[in-house]
Structures are given as C-alpha cells and as structure tokens.
Amino acid sequence: MILTLTLNPSLDRTIEIALLDRGAVIRAAAARLDPGGKGVNVARALLANGIAGRAVIPYGGDEGRQLVHLLELAGLDMVTVPVAGRTRSNVTLAEPDGTITKINEPGTALSPQELDTIAEAVLTAARPSITPPGDGPGEPAAADWVVASGSLPPEVPADVYARLCRRFAEAGINVAVDTSGPALACAVAAGPALVKPNLDELAAVTGMAPRCVGDVVQAAEKLRAAGARAVLASLGSDGAVLVSGEGLWYGQAPVDEPRSSVGAGDAMLAGFLAGGARGPRALAEALAWGSAAVALPGSRVPAPADIDRTRVHVGPPDPARPLTSPTPKSPGEARPR
C-alpha cells in the first residue's frame, strides 16, 4: 500500500480561457473544481488506476469540509485530521497553448501539536491491523511507501519533512519526498528512499543550472551524495531522468496536445511507485502516467483509458542532449509551488 501525506492540501479551481489579458474582463470557456495538493493528487491517481493507497489529510474550515466531501464522493481511502486553520484555495488559468498561470494561497499554519497528531495518523494508517483467524481479511496491508509532498504551510519549519522522513524510516517505511526550496534540501539530508524534483527545484537545491541531460544527471548525483537514495527528476516536455544505485536512465513520452501541467508531476510519481519504484520499467510507467495527465484538463488524474504506453521511450541518457525547458534565472530561486 502507498500512503500519501499532504500538509498543505487545497481546493483547486481551474478556469480555461482563450487568452490571459491583464486588466480585461475574461469569459471562461470552462471551469472545474478538484481536490488539490500534491499528495492528494498522487492518491487520486493511484485510486483511478486501481492501486491500493490511502491519503492522510489535515483539513479546516468550510473549504476543508468541501475538500473532504469531494474526496469522499471520489471514493478515496483517507484519514482526515481536523486542524484549527482554514484549508487553502488555489486558482489555475489555463490557455489553449498549454500556458498555465497559477495563483496559490499560502495555506494555514500548523501547530507543533497538530504536526505530531498528523505524523501519528500516518504511522497508525501505515501499520497493518491484526485480524483474528476467521474474522475476515481485515484492513489493508502495511504501507510500503509514504509520499510526503507539497509546499509547507506558513510557520511550519523547513526541516519538517526531514524529521518525518526519519520517523517513518524508523518504522520500516520507504519515504518519497516531493517538495521544494529549503524543505527539499533538509529532506535530502535525512536520507529518503526517493526525491522527485522538477527542473526548477533541481537547479535551486543544487545551485546548478542544467542545460543538458548530462547536467541533470550530475545534479541528481549531487543529491544522492547528499543523502537521497534515488532521484526521479521530471523535466517537463524534455521527459525525465532516474538516477539510483542501480543505474541511470532517461525517458520521454511526447504529448501532441498538452492541456494542463497541473498535477502532472504527481501523476508521474504515482506511476513510478505503481510501476515498482525502481529501474527503467518504473520510469516508463511514470512517463506514461505523467504525459497522460498533461493531455487532460485542469488537475484531472489519468485513468487506464488515458494512458498510452506505446509513446514512451526509455534508455541510457545522452549526456549532450540539450534541454528545451527553461531553467530559473537564478539557481537559488525556484518557482513557488
């Protein structure tokens, strides 16, 4: 089973527009409201593809109750933790050419007591239930992975994912971390089984500005030397690189008509874990799920009918292959999540 933890979940409203014209009255072509937050998206993608998963979700206020209601309607297996603050709302403006403009609220602060309650909820959800003989199948098996992902709420210390990583690893659970900035740097030093930075985040945490696949591999190896056991680097339209103790691989999965990149990295991580979380087979599955998400509107997650594995190509990386995706102007600054 795969557990996900989202410290800063959200309600995500995606509005499709013809063109973002500042200062003008813009009529929407379509709109949708989805449960959001990186761990929530991972759990939704697993659910859509019949993979056993469970989400741990702190929630608060009317927005939090609406978030939980939407997830209940979707049939998501989850553990909810009430908190004092209000769950945030995010807005995404999507243009026909695939350009995405996101407005993300900061979220609500979590107290040390609330963080401890959330961590205990994860550990409780991860433990297998002991069912007496003859009383039925019982609860799902113990969690193989915990995915700790997303931005941190205000006032939450940057080392929170690092502390959670050590706590969960002590319980024998593999930890995958998908975050950015100081939280990512702290988490890497805690030795997670996997980190999944995008290109911006990789540049920011390593102080590098990758221009080619070889630079990405070098930056990923830098994260492994700092503590991460494996690195899955998502490169947008340039594909992805996987670097681990078993080897390194590069892959692509072209998308003819991209609609929204929102949640595509989360679908990629879900596909990687669903594909066995190691080696070229898992990378291929990650690319298939991620590219399928890019072809869908808003933060919709791909279902089996959306996933085309025939377009995925995985093999040894060509170090000289240039990247078409822009890197941050300053390696010390990543775009906010």
Active site residues: 266
Please list the residues that pair with 103 across neighbouring strands: 91
**H-run or E-run covering 118:** helix 112-126
CA distance 108 to 117: 16
- Residue 262: which of 24, 18, 37 has the closest Cα? 37
Nearest one of 127, 110, 116, 109 to 54, comparing CA atoms = 127
| Closest-CA residue to 178 (of 167, 169, 189, 187) | 187
Q: Specify the amino acid at residue 217.
A: V
Residue with tokens 């992902």: 149
| Rounded Cα gap, residues 179 and 52, in angstroms | 23
Question: Could you give the count of Cα atoms lying within 13 Å of 83 in the half-sphere of its Cβ?
Answer: 32
The CA distances from residue 30 to 26, 94, 171, 297, 327, in Å, are 12, 10, 45, 10, 31
The whole-angstrom separation of Cα 295 and Cα 256 is 8
Length of the chain: 337
